[in-house]
Amino acid sequence: MSTNLKGLKAKKFFPILSGRQAAFDAASPELAKISDNAMGLAKKLHPKRQYLKIESVVERGEDCRSYTLVPDTEKATESLAYFGAGKYLTVFETIEGMPVTRAYSISSSPKDSLEGKYVLTIKLVEGGLMSRYIFDTWTVGTKVEVSAPSGNFEYQPLRDAKKVICLAGGSGITPFVSMANAVNDGDEDFEMTLLYGSRNTDSILFRAELNELVKKCSKLKVVHVLSDEESDIPDEAEKGLITAELIKKYAPADEAYSVFLCGPQQMYAFVDKELEKLNLEKKYIRHEMFGEFHNPASQADYPSQVPDTVKIKVTIQDKTYTVEGNSADSVMQTLEKNGISVPARCRSGECGFCHSHLLSGKVYVPKHLEYRRLADYKFNCIHPCCSFPLTDLEINVPVAK
């Protein structure tokens, strides 16, 4: 077939080559800094690390404290990363030579971060390594290293209903305090009804702050749900547990609503069953992460005849270590207990930050913590934070930065 490009000149190519060289020659020899705001925002919102120090500590009852963290300018953190209400910070500590991380929801308002302030509210967990350490050592002036704000437990107006029933249990109140502040500040736009489960009046966290917010903002409503029948139940509070009936009582009758949950694992187990009775669309139910999982043998699908102790041979960059651990501990816990630092963020399977290669051996992953990518199964990749060894293992783990 004949083509008819004859009207076009063929010899223009070589001028293009010399023209290209001429364009390079004519350009400035000065190296320009990358100053665009796409990269600027990426760096401001997702700093690799934030170096902070404790400005103040507030006692919230016997076993809970709020720590106000401000930038540690000596370590070159000048300002704090802004965040969407509901996000968490991963705290990095070294306890007796053992690197440990924990994710804590930010309880302060996103707006406060612009003035250089985050608040982490931490409950002392019985037998908890990190919370014990924090209670023993964090005081005004203590330097603390944290991640960028992370997580997906946030209100999303294109996905969530305009009305949200928030279900909090115990210290699971923290992201909701941030959300309530964000609604009050106008940073988030939804109607929030908070059903907050506590044991008794004394164990309610942020009671005064929440009252204050409710007075100021018509989009907020708080209902205390107190489980300890013996104690005085104030008039405005409900007695018992967060049941389907209770949710129905406060949910809009004739329009869609979302349910957000944050609390201990026992609460999820109970409330999830209650929620089933309400027949909500899946899109309207959102959980904050489950937190670090222990005792895999409690799961119905956990195999039998798993040895108590296992050997893990781990390669990180050009170093290989062999350590021994308990099969009841996650791969990540065993490595940390042996002084080996591994990348960690959510410690609940979800974020995938600890993504690693399993070269040999078998692991058990509780179903509800299964957030691996499909190709991870095909190529034997695991999230060590929620993988429990069933045999001796050989793994390749990225270095902790």
Please tell me whether residue 76 binds other proteins under the rule CB under 8 A.
no
Residue list 28-47, contact with other proteins (CB under 8 A): 28-34, 36-42, 44-46
CA–centroid distance for 160 within its chain: 19
Please tell me whether residue 170 binds other proteins under the rule CB under 8 A.
no
Tokens of 187: 């940073």
Which residue carries 């070159």 as its tokens? 76
Which CB sits closer to other proteins, 225 or 289? Answer: 289
Please tell me whether residue 78 binds other proteins under the rule CB under 8 A.
no
Please tell me whether residue 317 binds other proteins under the rule CB under 8 A.
yes
Residue list 177-216, contact with other proteins (CB under 8 A): 187
What minimum distance in Å lies between the beta carbon of 175 and other proteins?
Answer: 15
Please tell me whether residue 277 binds other proteins under the rule CB under 8 A.
no
**The Cα angle at residue 97 between residues 96 and 98, in degrees rounded to 5:** 95
Please tell me whether residue 75 binds other proteins under the rule CB under 8 A.
no
Q: Which of 62, 127, 158, 216 binds other proteins (CB under 8 A)?
A: 158
Please tell me whether residue 283 binds other proteins under the rule CB under 8 A.
yes
The sign one gets for the Cα dihedral 66, 72, 76, 82 is positive
Question: Phi/psi zone of residue 111: left (φ > 0), alpha (ψ -120 to 50 degrees), beta?
Answer: alpha
Contact region with other proteins (CB under 8 A), list: 123-131, 193-201, 222-230, 345-353:
345-353
What minimum distance in Å lies between the beta carbon of 285 and other proteins?
Answer: 10
Which CB sits closer to other proteins, 146 or 210? Answer: 146
Please tell me whether residue 114 binds other proteins under the rule CB under 8 A.
yes
CB 178 within 8 A of CB 107: yes
Please tell me whether residue 17 binds other proteins under the rule CB under 8 A.
yes
Residue list 370-389, contact with other proteins (CB under 8 A): 371-376, 378-379, 381
CB 262 within 8 A of CB 234: no
CA distance 156 to 139: 36
Question: Which residues, in sequence order, are CB contacts of 86 under 8 Å at separation 6+?
Answer: 105, 151, 153, 154, 155, 175, 178, 179, 288
